[in-house]
């Protein structure tokens, strides 16, 4: 009964796994030709179904191997015969070309030999002509009379005519030679491709050079194409960048216009606010100037003056404290006078003086009576006024004395108790800024 064979079927596996069989042959030859594989599979199938012994399988394999060897040998003989014919054809063509080249070389040698013989003859003729000319000239020179003799005979007209004719002949020959060379060059330039009787086989070096030239031409063309592409890309990029730059400049101009408008509105708002504040300060100062003195030691003291504020009724205790303060000889009236003088000077002037002459430097404290450098906030009012009066202009110092109602001759208590009736007190806002703001 037949059974189907798979593509992976191998008869050797059956021989090795079942039945009695001989050892595996050492040199087993299998054909690589798959022609007739179906018939061989069928024959093997019949051997297996008929349960033939291993010798039948071996004979079948040997017969098929011999057939494959014979086919391989026939193919090899055919290939060798084709190769032999090709070699004979190539050898014949090369021999023909060699004979043609030898014939061309023989003709070239003959032409060169004839040319060399003609050149030798012409050179010999030229040499003989030159020798004849020299002999003739020497004969004429020898026939002349010796030096110091009477005037030698003049040259005959025939000799003069022959000499001039010889020079003209040489010039004409030179001109004819140049014209001939020019015509020959034109003919060589105008000639077409030469017709070869036997085209020589190009050498390997010529083939390599031609391929190199072709490759270089292709590379050059590719390079030129790439450079043209890059130039066009650069031009497009320049156009794009120029457009973006113009757009950016336009946006910058618009932004500058908006910023200028915003700046103008801000300055106008600040100016309006400053005018309002200045008007408010002027009103406060006017109200303060309209009140009596705010100093406790002033004869007309009615309480600390505040803009827009009316003094309340003072109790007996407060009045008693004020009287005790006036009668106290140990009170620091100098500190109070220094504070009043410092506050009588504008805040921006004080800040400028302190920034230019900081109290942290020993050089700024010379002439002030202060020995140790310190911060502005750590100084008392007496030290602050000493620093300001030392470095401030004399006009500003005198103006501060007049505004505070203090005599410029000294800081004595008696001098601070007597003040001018026109003394006025600064606004509470100015006092707060002066006492809390650092320089």
Lowest mean pLDDT among 23-37, 40-54, 398-412: 23-37
Pairwise pLDDT comparison (178 vs 396), residue with the higher score? 178
- Phi, psi (deg, nearest 5) at residue 5: -105, 135
- Chain-centroid distance, C-alpha 253: 30
Cβ pair 425, 288 in contact under 8 A:
yes
Pairwise pLDDT comparison (331 vs 182), residue with the higher score? 182
Lowest mean pLDDT among 3-7, 76-80, 234-238: 3-7
Rounded mean pLDDT, 167-184: 92
Q: Report the sign of the C-alpha dihedral through residues 153, 159, 161, 163, in that order.
A: negative
Rg of the Cα trace of the chain? 67
pLDDT digits (tens, 9 = 90+) for 352-381: 888 888 888 888 888 888 888 888 888 888
pLDDT of residue 338: 83
Max Cα–Cα distance, the chain, nearest Å: 172
Q: How many of the other CB atoms lie within 10 Å of CB of 374?
A: 12
CA–CA gap between residue 134 and residue 154 (Å, rounded) = 21
Asked if the model's pLDDT at residue 6 lies above 60, the reply is no
What mean pLDDT is reported for the chain?
Answer: 77
3-state class (DSSP) for residue 141? helix
pLDDT digits (tens, 9 = 90+) for 49-96: 777 788 887 888 888 788 888 988 998 999 999 899 999 999 998 899
- Phi, psi (deg, nearest 5) at residue 291: -100, 175
Pairwise pLDDT comparison (196 vs 19), residue with the higher score? 196
Q: How many of the other CB atoms lie within 10 Å of CB of 419?
A: 19
CA–CA gap between residue 345 and residue 403 (Å, rounded) = 9
CA–CA gap between residue 427 and residue 435 (Å, rounded) = 12
Q: How far apart are the first and last CA of the chain?
A: 122
pLDDT of residue 402: 81
CA–CA gap between residue 22 and residue 58 (Å, rounded) = 10
Lowest mean pLDDT among 221-230, 298-307, 357-366: 298-307
- Phi, psi (deg, nearest 5) at residue 309: -125, 130
Rounded mean pLDDT, 338-354: 86
Cβ pair 373, 358 in contact under 8 A:
no
Asked if the model's pLDDT at residue 424 lies above 50, the reply is no
């Amino acid at each position: 009964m037949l059974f189907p064979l798979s593509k992976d079927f191998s008869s050797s596996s059956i021989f090795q796994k079942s039945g009695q069989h001989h050892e595996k042959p050492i040199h087993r030859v299998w054909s690589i030709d798959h022609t007739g594989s179906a018939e061989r599979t069928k024959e093997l199938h019949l051997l297996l179904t008929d349960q033939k012994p291993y010798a039948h399988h071996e004979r079948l394999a040997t017969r098929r191997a011999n057939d494959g060897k014979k086919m391989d040998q026939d193919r090899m003989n055919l290939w060798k015969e084709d190769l032999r014919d090709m070699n004979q054809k190539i050898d014949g063509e090369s021999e023909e070309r060699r004979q043609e080249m030898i014939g061309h070389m023989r003709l070239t040698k003959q032409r060169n030999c004839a040319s060399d013989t003609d050149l030798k003859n012409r050179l010999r003729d030229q040499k003989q002509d030159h020798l004849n000319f020299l002999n003739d000239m020497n004969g004429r020179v020898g026939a002349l009379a010796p030096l110091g003799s009477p005037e030698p005979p003049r040259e005959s007209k025939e000799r003069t005519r022959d000499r001039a004719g010889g020079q003209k002949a040489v010039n004409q020959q030179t001109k004819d030679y140049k014209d001939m060379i020019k015509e020959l060059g034109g003919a060589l330039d105008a000639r077409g491709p030469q017709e070869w009787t036997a085209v020589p086989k190009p050498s390997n070096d010529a083939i390599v050079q031609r391929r190199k030239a072709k490759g270089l031409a292709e590379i050059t063309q590719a390079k030129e194409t790439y450079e043209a592409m890059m130039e066009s890309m650069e031009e497009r990029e320049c156009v794009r960048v120029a457009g973006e730059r113009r757009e950016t400049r336009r946006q910058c101009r618009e932004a500058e216009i908006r910023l200028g408008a915003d700046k103008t509105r801000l300055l106008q708002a600040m100016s309006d606010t400053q005018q309002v504040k200045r008007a408010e300060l002027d009103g406060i100062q006017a109200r303060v100037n309209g009140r009596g003195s705010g100093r406790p030691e002033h004869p007309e003291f009615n309480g600390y003056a505040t803009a827009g504020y009316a003094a309340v009724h003072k109790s007996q205790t407060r009045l008693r404290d004020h009287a005790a303060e006036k009668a106290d000889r140990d009170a620091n009236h100098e500190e109070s006078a220094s504070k009043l003088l410092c506050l009588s000077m504008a805040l921006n002037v004080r800040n400028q003086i302190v920034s230019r002459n900081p109290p942290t430097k020993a050089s700024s404290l010379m002439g002030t009576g202060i020995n140790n450098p310190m911060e502005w906030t750590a100084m008392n009012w007496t030290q602050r006024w000493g620093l300001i009066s030392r470095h401030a202009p004399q006009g500003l110092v005198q103006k501060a004395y007049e505004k505070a109602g203090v005599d410029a001759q000294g800081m004595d208590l008696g001098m601070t108790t007597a003040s001018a009736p026109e003394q006025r007190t600064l606004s509470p806002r100015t006092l707060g800024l002066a006492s809390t703001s650092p320089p």
